[in-house]
Chains A and B, each alone.
Chain A
Amino acid sequence: MLRTPQEQNPAIPDDSPPPAGGAVSSFLAPGLDVRKESRRIAAGLIVLAFLSVILLNFGIYQNAENQLTRQRWSELQVNTEKRRDDVQVLLDGYQRDARFVAGQAVVKAWARNSMTSPLAPGEQQSIRAELERIARDFKLDFAALVSPEGTILVGTSGASQERAEDVARLTRRALSAGAPTLGDLHRTSDGAEELAVAVPIVDSGVGGRIPVLMIGVCVDDATSSLLRNWPGFGHVAGAYLVRQDGDRVVFLTSLPSNPLVRRGSIVAGVDPLHRGAAMAAAGAESRVEIPQPTGADLWAVTRFLPEVGWGLVGQDDRRAVDEGMRSTLLGLLLLDLSTALLALGALWFWRRQYATGLAEREVELTRRHAARVQSVLDTALDAIVAIDHEGRILEFNPSAEKIFGHRRDAVLGLDMAQLLIPQSMRERHAHGFARHLRTNESSVLGQRLELSAIRADGTEIPIEISISRMPNMDTPMFTAFIRDISERVEAEKRIRSIAEGLEISNRRLAEVNAQLDEASRLKSEFLANTSHELRTPLNGMIGFLQLVLDGMCDTPEEERDFLNQALQCSRHLLGLINDVLDIAKIEAGKLTLDIEPIDVQQLFDEVYTLTHVQAAQRGIALRINAPASGELRARGDFGKVKQVLINLVGNSLKFTPHGTITLSATQHPESGHFMFVVQDTGIGIAPERQKVVFEKFTQADGSTTRKYGGTGLGLAISRSLVELMGGIIGVHSDGEGKGSRMYFSLPVWNAEARSEVEVEEPGDRIDGPAGGPLVMVVEDDRIFRKYLTTLLHQNGYRTVETRHAEGGWVLARRLCPSVVVLDYALGCNEGANLRTGWDLAERMTTDNSTRHIPLIFVTGFDDELREKLKSTAFGRKPQHLMKPIDGSVLLEKIQELVGQLHSRTVRVLMADDDPTVAAFIRKVLPEKRYHLEIATSGDECLHFLRTQPYGFDLLLLDLMMPKVSGYDVLREMTLTGTSPELPVVVLTNFPEARTDEEKRLLEDGLVLDVLPKSSIHDNPKLLPHVIDWQMHVAHEGGDAGPKPGLGDDTPGEKAA
Chain B
Amino acid sequence: MKHVLVVEDDAHNAILFSKLLSKRVGCRITLSESAEEILALACGGDVDLVIMDVSLGNTSYDGRPVSGVDLTRMIKADPQGVGVPVMLATAHAMRGDAEKLLAQSGADDYVSKPIIDHAAFVEQVRGMLEEAA
Chain B 85-119 per-residue mask, 1 if CB under 8 angstroms from chain A, else 0: 00000111110000000000000000011111010
Chain A 514-535 per-residue mask, 1 if CB under 8 angstroms from chain B, else 0: 0000000000000010011111
Q: Does A539 make an interface contact (CB < 8 A)?
A: yes
Q: Does A541 make an interface contact (CB < 8 A)?
A: yes
**Which residues of A (975-1030) have their CB < 8 Å from a CB of B?**
none
- Scoring B23, B24, B90, B114 by chain A CB atoms within 10 A of each residue's CB, the highest score goes to B114
* CB-contact partner of B93 in A531, A547, A702, A707, under 8 A: A531
Do A540 and B19 have beta carbons less than 8 Å apart?
A: no
| Chain A residue at minimum C-beta to C-beta distance from B117 | A546
* Least distance between A502 CB and chain B CB atoms (Å): 40
**Which residues of B (55-83) have their CB < 8 Å from a CB of A?**
55, 57-58, 60, 65
Q: Does A569 make an interface contact (CB < 8 A)?
A: yes
What residues on A are CB-neighbors of B12 within 8 Å? 537, 540, 544, 565, 568-569
Do A531 and B11 have beta carbons less than 8 Å apart?
A: no
Q: Does A57 make an interface contact (CB < 8 A)?
A: no
Do A565 and B16 have beta carbons less than 8 Å apart?
A: yes
Do B13 and A539 have beta carbons less than 8 Å apart?
A: yes
Q: Does A895 make an interface contact (CB < 8 A)?
A: no
* Least distance between A1017 CB and chain B CB atoms (Å): 73
Q: Does A552 make an interface contact (CB < 8 A)?
A: yes
Do B92 and A532 have beta carbons less than 8 Å apart?
A: yes
- Given A532-B91, A705-B57, A707-B58, A565 and B115 touching (CB < 8 A)? no
Q: Does A706 make an interface contact (CB < 8 A)?
A: yes
A538 to B90, CA, bound (A): 12
What residues on A are CB-neighbors of B65 within 8 Å? 702-703
Q: Does B20 make an interface contact (CB < 8 A)?
A: yes
Q: Does A74 make an interface contact (CB < 8 A)?
A: no
Do A532 and B55 have beta carbons less than 8 Å apart?
A: yes
A704 to B11, CA, bound (A): 13
Q: Does A536 make an interface contact (CB < 8 A)?
A: yes
* CB-contact partner of A540 in B10, B90, B93, under 8 A: B10
What residues on A are CB-neighbors of B24 within 8 Å? 550, 552
- Given A703-B60, A703-B65, A547 and B16 touching (CB < 8 A)? yes
- Scoring A533, A541, A546, A569 by chain B CB atoms within 10 A of each residue's CB, the highest score goes to A546
- Given A703-B65, A706-B10, A544 and B16 touching (CB < 8 A)? yes
* CB-contact partner of A536 in B23, B94, B113, under 8 A: B113
A536 to B112, CA, bound (A): 10
What residues on A are CB-neighbors of B55 within 8 Å? 532
Do A706 and B115 have beta carbons less than 8 Å apart?
A: no
Do A543 and B20 have beta carbons less than 8 Å apart?
A: yes
Q: Does B132 make an interface contact (CB < 8 A)?
A: no
Do A543 and B94 have beta carbons less than 8 Å apart?
A: no
A1010 to B94, CA, bound (A): 68
Do B13 and A702 have beta carbons less than 8 Å apart?
A: no
A535 to B92, CA, bound (A): 8
Do B16 and A535 have beta carbons less than 8 Å apart?
A: no
A707 to B14, CA, bound (A): 13
A550 to B120, CA, bound (A): 13
Do A540 and B13 have beta carbons less than 8 Å apart?
A: yes
- Given A532-B91, A538-B114, A543 and B57 touching (CB < 8 A)? no
Do B113 and A538 have beta carbons less than 8 Å apart?
A: yes
A319 to B55, CA, bound (A): 163
A541 to B115, CA, bound (A): 10
- Given A552-B20, A565-B15, A706-B57, A531 and B94 touching (CB < 8 A)? yes
Q: Does A89 make an interface contact (CB < 8 A)?
A: no
- Given A532-B55, A705-B57, A539 and B92 touching (CB < 8 A)? no
| Chain A residue at minimum C-beta to C-beta distance from B118 | A546
| Chain A residue at minimum C-beta to C-beta distance from B17 | A543
Q: Does A562 make an interface contact (CB < 8 A)?
A: yes
Do A535 and B118 have beta carbons less than 8 Å apart?
A: no
* Least distance between A214 CB and chain B CB atoms (Å): 195
- Size of the B side of the interface (Cβ < 8 Å), in residues, is 28
**Which residues of A (536-561) have their CB < 8 Å from a CB of B?**
536-544, 546-547, 550, 552
* Least distance between B67 CB and chain A CB atoms (Å): 11
What residues on B are CB-neighbors of A702 within 8 Å? 57, 65
A686 to B13, CA, bound (A): 30
| Chain B residue at minimum C-beta to C-beta distance from A558 | B19
A124 to B77, CA, bound (A): 217
- Given A536-B113, A538-B114, A706 and B91 touching (CB < 8 A)? no
A705 to B112, CA, bound (A): 21
* Least distance between B50 CB and chain A CB atoms (Å): 18
A185 to B13, CA, bound (A): 209
A705 to B33, CA, bound (A): 14
Do B115 and A542 have beta carbons less than 8 Å apart?
A: yes
Do B19 and A562 have beta carbons less than 8 Å apart?
A: yes
* Least distance between A729 CB and chain B CB atoms (Å): 25
What residues on A are CB-neighbors of B94 within 8 Å? 528, 531
What residues on B are CB-neighbors of A528 within 8 Å? 92, 94
A706 to B10, CA, bound (A): 6
A544 to B57, CA, bound (A): 22
Do A536 and B20 have beta carbons less than 8 Å apart?
A: no
**Which residues of A (684-724) have their CB < 8 Å from a CB of B?**
702-707
- Given A705-B57, A706-B10, A540 and B91 touching (CB < 8 A)? no
Do A540 and B16 have beta carbons less than 8 Å apart?
A: yes
Do B20 and A547 have beta carbons less than 8 Å apart?
A: yes
Do B113 and A706 have beta carbons less than 8 Å apart?
A: no
| Chain B residue at minimum C-beta to C-beta distance from A550 | B118
Chain B 10-39 per-residue mask, 1 if CB under 8 angstroms from chain A, else 0: 111101110110011000000000000000
Do B113 and A539 have beta carbons less than 8 Å apart?
A: yes
Do A531 and B118 have beta carbons less than 8 Å apart?
A: no
Do A542 and B92 have beta carbons less than 8 Å apart?
A: no
**Which residues of A (795-832) have their CB < 8 Å from a CB of B?**
none
* CB-contact partner of A535 in B11, B20, B58, B114, under 8 A: B114
A565 to B10, CA, bound (A): 12
What residues on A are CB-neighbors of B113 within 8 Å? 535-536, 538-539
A703 to B67, CA, bound (A): 12
Do A547 and B23 have beta carbons less than 8 Å apart?
A: yes
Do A706 and B20 have beta carbons less than 8 Å apart?
A: no
* Least distance between B68 CB and chain A CB atoms (Å): 12
Do A552 and B60 have beta carbons less than 8 Å apart?
A: no
Do B91 and A535 have beta carbons less than 8 Å apart?
A: yes
What residues on A are CB-neighbors of B15 within 8 Å? 565
- Given A531-B93, A532-B92, A706 and B9 touching (CB < 8 A)? yes
* Least distance between B9 CB and chain A CB atoms (Å): 5
* CB-contact partner of B23 in A533, A540, A552, under 8 A: A552
Do B23 and A543 have beta carbons less than 8 Å apart?
A: no
Do A703 and B57 have beta carbons less than 8 Å apart?
A: yes
What residues on A are CB-neighbors of B60 within 8 Å? 703
| Chain A residue at minimum C-beta to C-beta distance from B16 | A543
A535 to B11, CA, bound (A): 14
* Least distance between B37 CB and chain A CB atoms (Å): 16
| Chain B residue at minimum C-beta to C-beta distance from A565 | B12
Do B93 and A543 have beta carbons less than 8 Å apart?
A: no
What residues on B are CB-neighbors of A707 within 8 Å? 57-58
- Scoring A528, A568, A703, A707 by chain B CB atoms within 10 A of each residue's CB, the highest score goes to A703
| Chain B residue at minimum C-beta to C-beta distance from A705 | B57
* CB-contact partner of A552 in B10, B19, B116, under 8 A: B19
Do B114 and A539 have beta carbons less than 8 Å apart?
A: yes
What residues on B are CB-neighbors of A706 within 8 Å? 9-11, 57-58
| Chain B positions near chain A (C-beta within 8 angstroms) | 9-13, 15-17, 19-20, 23-24, 55, 57-58, 60, 65, 90-94, 112-116, 118
* 16 residue pairs A–B, Cβ–Cβ below 8 Å: A531-B93, A531-B94, A532-B92, A532-B93, A535-B114, A539-B16, A540-B12, A540-B16, A542-B115, A550-B118, A562-B19, A702-B65, A703-B58, A703-B65, A705-B57, A707-B57
Additional A-B contact list (20), CB under 8 Å, known A539-B16, A552-B24: A532-B55, A534-B91, A535-B91, A535-B113, A536-B10, A538-B114, A539-B114, A541-B114, A542-B114, A543-B13, A543-B17, A543-B115, A544-B16, A550-B118, A565-B16, A569-B12, A702-B57, A702-B65, A704-B57, A706-B9
Query: Sorted from nearest, which 3 A-B pairs have the closest CB atoms?
Result: A535-B91, A540-B12, A539-B113
